[in-house]
Amino acid sequence: MLALITGGFFKIGLFFYATVLSLSHVFKLKNPSPLVFPIGLVILFYSLSLTQNYFEHVYEGLKIIPFTLHLPF
């Protein structure tokens, strides 16, 4: 269980780091530090508003996301 939690933490951290670096490259910023807090807030509020409970989270992950996100990419 500890390895699962640690792996999830590093996965989320890596995705967050990649997002910050990508947006700093898109906006041509030399220092990506000003983007860390706003992107963190967007991720926080988006994750809180995404689903109301665990069952809705599982439903969206299995039924909605594969067709709306995975198929186009």
Q: How many domains does the chain have?
A: 1
SS3 sequence of 14-25: HHHHHHHHHHHH
Q: Half-sphere exposure of 21 toward its Cβ, with a 13 Å CA cutoff?
A: 6
Q: What is the pLDDT of residue 73?
A: 67
Domain containing 33 equals 2-70
Give the pLDDT confidence of 12-66 residue by residue, as tens digits.
999 999 999 999 999 999 999 999 999 999 988 988 888 888 898 889 888 888 8
Give the span between the Cα atoms of 5 and 11, in whole angstroms. 10
pTM: 0.71
Give the pLDDT of residue 34. 92
Residues near 43 by beta carbon (within 8 Å), at least 6 away in sequence = 16
Among candidate residues 6, 8, 39, 7, the one with its CA nearest the CA of residue 22: 39
Report pLDDT for 65. 84
